Structure 1
Amino acid sequence: MSKHTLCPIMFAGTGSDVGKSVVAAAFCRIFLQDGYRPAPFKAQNMALNSYATPDGLEIGRAQAVQAEAAGIPCSTDMNPILLKPTSDRVCQVVLNGKVAGNKSAADYFNGTDRDRLRKEVHAAFDRLRAEFNPIVIEGAGSIAEVNLRSRDLVNMPMAQYAKAAVILVADIDRGGVIASVYGTMMLLSEEERKLVKGIIINKFRGDISLFTDGVKIIEELCRVPVLGVIPYFKDIHIEAEDSVMLDLKSRSAIDGKVNVVVVLLRHMSNFTDFDVLERDERVHLFYSNNVEEIAKADIIIIPGTKSTLADLYELRKNGVASAIIRAYRDGKTVVGICGGYQMLGMEVCDPHHVEGKIDALPGLGLLPVRTTMQGEKVTKQVTFTFGGGKAECKGYEIHMGETEITASNASTLNILADGSTDGVQVDNRCFGTYIHGILDNAVVIDHLLTPYLSQLETRTFDYNEFKEEQYNKLAAHIRQHVSMEKVYEILDVRYEI
């Protein structure tokens, strides 16, 4: 079946966390199902969750998820600018997948290089548009931040450049949805309002028929059609973009399952590493920095972090470091991933002050390794074998620092496809690795859970199969509640299924 070229579609928001990322992922899967070749795009993303592309560059995790939903490998063109907060006022700027330096918010938004960044963003979009159809664009935050209009790279100026059909997404669960939609529309310029072709009301709870009058009011006020009202869902699981979602996670252990605690760090990054454990019915996953709750866990995982030394200092200060050491001595399993791996070693040094003012701190001393922070970031996808096995595993690395083994009798954890090694283990209850996504591999999960499964009889969890099922469920959910016929009319293409 031949397919028409669709104009780009942008999902913009009345605010942050209204569901733009998930809606964009849904449409990536829908367009794929309908025979198109979609690709996601977000000009500028701010997140600590990131991902390594196949060519060893770094992008926001949300665009990697959307690319997965679209059935294509991710690339930096999908997210040319990534801002990774290192403090409340400073971000690491990643441009086209490579670190371009650290900047304060004032320097970044008021700097003289906005025109250069805009050209980079436009060039990335043009490369995508030449290869894919349609481009599914995600906005950032609210499109009504008129004080930022002249410096904006990601919302309406991007829509104008792309000649995109803008769909405004609003979160009704927060309340005041009519005011937020109407207020957003009224704060746009006349030229910008012309680009808004539809409205989606997201996260509705209860009987949708009760909002029929609300839909009519919005359409009359804004003179833009409401394309659908999407019910809130809890039974579809898509990897979250922002750490705000951690607020919804469990904070304590329970009986009857293998309890796995992820140590809650102030600068925690890449918490999507643990989505597979959260979905595994054998496991109860929770997040905590409470020493009493940590003591109840069977398995303790120290996750990645944007500031290893600052978080290591905090763990020592609040007693969590001692609790982890004590738990290991009591027979519990302790695992470190990326920054967590560095913390489990003998010492973490930062002689060049890559992270901050701290020169060095002793680690937890559970692994015979020593880490020195380096200025150049490692970003790459990897294929490896785990723990001396033969099964092919996959993951990715994003880290700064070199870790050396300090004991001759230490065992290497992973053998990479190029013959190099990663990580170290002292026994079956303690290991560390730089590889994010290591837990997405069933052989690793089985190794981790085996000591605790004598009373459980469930099959090995296939995470890739699970994710595909979730993308398809999400697409079906959106199709049920959004008029795809109207969407295709807006994109100036015959409705072909």
Structure 2
Amino acid sequence: MKRLRPIMFVGTGSDVGKSIISAAFCRIFLQDGFCPAPFKAQNMALNSYATPEGLEIGRAQAVQAEAAGIDCHTDMNPLLLKPTTDKICQVVLNGKPMNNQSAFEYFREEGRDELRTEVNSAFDRLEKRFNPIVMEGAGSVSEINLRKLDLVNMPMAIHAGANVIIVADIDRGGVFASVYGSVMLLTEEERKHVKGILINKFRGDIRLFEPGIKMLEDLCGIPVIGVVPYYKDIYIEEEDSVMLQTKNIQATQGKVNIAVVLLKRMSNFTDFNILERDPRVHLYYTNNTDEIEKADIILIPGSKSTLSDLYDLRRNGVAQSITKAYKSGATVMGICGGFQIMGQEVCDPLGVEGNIERLPGLGLLPVSTKMQGEKVTRQVKFSFLESEKVCEGYEIHMGTTTLLNNAKGAPVNILSDNSTDGYFVDSRCFGTYIHGILDNSEVIEYLLKPYADKSTSKSFDLKAFKEEQYNKLANHVRKHTDMDLVYKIMNEKV
């Protein structure tokens, strides 16, 4: 098969749809008989994933790899920044935590060459294994104040010899200025790599924008490869939790009401994607005490800063509402940081997370958690409550959780290596470290069984659903993109 040059999707700004467009092209190239792979040199996100080797990457690249039909790998996202506070990030290099740095510390020239060597080497290894590489930029492509320090946008494109497509979100307005300004702020060498413009999230009659296409092409001297309409009926995992607050519609009649506690530093919110799609369920995200107390099931998610989020839950009354709801008959389940929060205490004597040394937990589980400097990242296979079927998930967490007060061991899961996970009080109260546990039908059915009389709808096949969505996304983007032009661009030298 003929080798294609890498293609890179950069943006006029953040949240213009680069990640989704990249996922779409991963699936398009797979459909067309190629063996594509995603690549993003540097990603900033709390939503991460464990590779088969037990290393950590951004969830967006894991989704793109899934769209490409391959296992994810750290070479697809060699540098991951995980915010711990508004100014501090954990730096994860090649899947392993390196250190915590402030934004000022991270964006400096010292040590930059070493990081650049690492991300460039990751790309070089990936390109030898796959064809083509679908690359993604970060934020705006024209952050000229950070040009010397940039690892992920045009310097990466130049190293890769990639053909660059600028993605612009027309829904937010100002598309002409944002595209033209982005192109004009690039250096002459950088502009040589920009081969196309893709207009994303278009609403309305596309014929009205046809004169605008020619205007953009005349202004920038670059062809518009497509105008992709906004969609509402395709469901791909989101990279950021920004939109979760729009999903806090309160409890409703005729379905099982599930409240996900909306933590300030929530991580891995994709744990709940299957429940959002389950026709038996009404799932909402909230930190409103009344809405929590009305829920049938309360899910406490993972957190990048467990002690800080636990402090907030105690301060805003949510902690009391969760325990009150449990005493009134609701089910409470915690995942990862949520599991830690459900215990008797969370301790941080080494200051791994910050300045809070200890806080009492919700007291629902007889366990204590001590934060440790070593991070656990691995994919796992397990049996849930001694069920025979093998389930799958992954762990990404700091800290060790142990039993208190001579409590009898009552694990939720038995792992394939015969180790145990979590703690089970009863069918209405348990916690686990395993992300993705709700992607297993055995767990979902167990969770919903006590509320079976509330809904007559049936469950659905998550894997088949995901495949359908990737294909729908690819078909949608293909329909509104000049793929002949895309392939022509990818066969040309920069």
Q: Which TM-score bucket, shorter chain as reference?
A: over 0.9
Among 23, 42, 56, the residue aligned to 1:44: 42
Instruction: Output the CA distance in 2 between the equivalents of 1:141 and 1:398.
Output: 26
Q: Name the structure 1 match of 2:266.
A: 268
Paired position in structure 2 for 1:82: 80
Asked if the contact 1:410/1:426 (under 8 Å) is kept, the reply is no
What amino acid is the match of 1:408?
A
Deviations 1:204-254 (A, max 9, x none): 111111111111110110111111110101110000011223243234222
Q: Is the 8 A contact 1:8 1:134 kept in 2?
A: yes
Corresponding residue to 1:257 among 223, 233, 255:
255
Distance in 2 (CA, whole Å) between partners of 1:163 and 1:198 is 15
The answer as to whether partners of 1:410 and 1:424 remain within 8 angstroms in 2 is yes
1:27-71 Cα shifts (integer Å, max 9, x gaps): 001101111000000000000000000000000000000000001
Unaligned runs of 5+ in 1: none
Q: Deviations over 1:73-101 (max 9, x none)?
A: 00100000000001111100000000000
The superposition leaves residues 329-383 of structure 1 with CA deviations (integer Å, 9 ceiling, x where unpaired) of: 0000001000000000011111111111111111100011111100000000000
Correspondence 1:128-167 to 2 at 5 A: 128-167=126-165
Q: Does 1:28 align with 2:34?
A: no
Name 1:388's counterpart in structure 2. 386
Q: How does 1:224-263 map to 2 (within 5 A)?
A: 224-263=222-261
The share of aligned pairs that are identical, in percent, is 67
**Residue 445 of structure 1 aligns to which amino acid in structure 2?**
I
2:109–2:149 contact (8 Å) kept in structure 1:
no
Matching residue within 202, 205, 215 for 2:203: 205
Moved more, 320-329 or 402-411: 402-411
Question: What is the SS of the residue equivalent to 2:320?
Answer: helix
| Structure 1 contact 89–105 (Cα < 8 Å) conserved | yes
Amino acid across the alignment from 2:369: T
Quote the Cα distance in structure 1 between the aligned partners of 2:248 and 2:216.
37
Amino acid paired to 1:438: I
* Cα contact 1:368–1:410 (8 A) shared by 2: no
Q: Kindly tell me: are residues 111 and 150 of structure 1, through their superposed partners in 2, closer, same or farther at Cα, counting changes over 3 Å?
A: closer
| Residue number in structure 2 paired with 1:325 | 323
1:269 Cα deviation after fit? 0.6
DSSP 3-state at the match of 1:127: helix
Match of 1:102?
100
1:410, CA displacement in angstroms? Answer: 4.4
Distance in 1, matches of 2:454 and 2:256, equals 10
Cα distance in 2, alignment partners of residues 490 and 245 from structure 1: 35
CA RMSD of aligned residues (A): 1.0
2:192 aligns to what? 194
Counterpart of 1:466? 465
Q: Match for residue 477 of structure 1? A: 476
Structure 1 position 409, deviation (Å):
3.1
> Matched residue of 1:29: which SS?
helix
Instruction: Determine helix, strand or coil for the equivalent of 1:261.
Output: strand
Does residue 353 in structure 1 map to residue 351 in structure 2?
Answer: yes
Alpha-carbon offset, residue 483 of structure 1: 1.0
Unaligned runs of 5+ in 2: none
- TM-score, normalised to structure 2, is 0.98
Looking at structure 1, the residues matched to 94 and 151 of structure 2 have their Cα atoms a distance apart, in angstroms, of 14
Aligned residue in 2 for 1:185: 183
* 1:245-268 deviations in Å (ceiling 9; x for gaps): 324323422222111111011111
**Which residue number corresponds to residue 487 of structure 1?**
486
For residue 54 of structure 2, the aligned residue among 36, 53, 56 is 56
Deviation at 1:111, TM superposition (A): 4.5
Q: Distance in 2 between matches of 1:466 and 1:125?
A: 31
Residue in 1 aligned with 2:407? Answer: 408
- Contact kept? 1:45, 1:81, Cα under 8 Å: yes
1:168-194 per-position Cα deviation (integer Å, ceiling 9, x unaligned) = 000000011111111111111111111
Describe the SS at the equivalent of 1:255.
Answer: coil
Measure the CA separation in 2 of the matches of 1:15 and 1:455: 44
Question: Quick one: which amino acid aligns to residue 17 of structure 2?
Answer: G
Deviation at 1:296? 1.3
**What is the total number of aligned residue pairs between the two structures?**
491
| 1:296-332 alpha-carbon deviations (Å, 9 max, x no partner) | 1111011000100111011011100000000000000
Q: Distance between the aligned counterparts of 1:295 and 1:105, measured in 2?
A: 39
Asked if 1:453 corresponds to 2:423, the answer is: no
- Displacement of 1:457 in angstroms is 2.4
**Which residue number in structure 2 is paired with residue 370 of structure 1?**
368
2:433 corresponds to which residue?
434
2:9–2:137 Cα contact (<8 Å) kept: yes
Alignment of 1:127 onto 2:125:
yes
Matching residue's letter, 1:435: I
- Give the partner amino acid of 1:369: V
2:436 counterpart letter in structure 1: G
Give yes or no for contact 1:262–1:300 (8 Å, CA) kept in 2.
yes
User: When the two structures are superposed, what TM-score results if normalisation uses the length of structure 1?
Assistant: 0.98
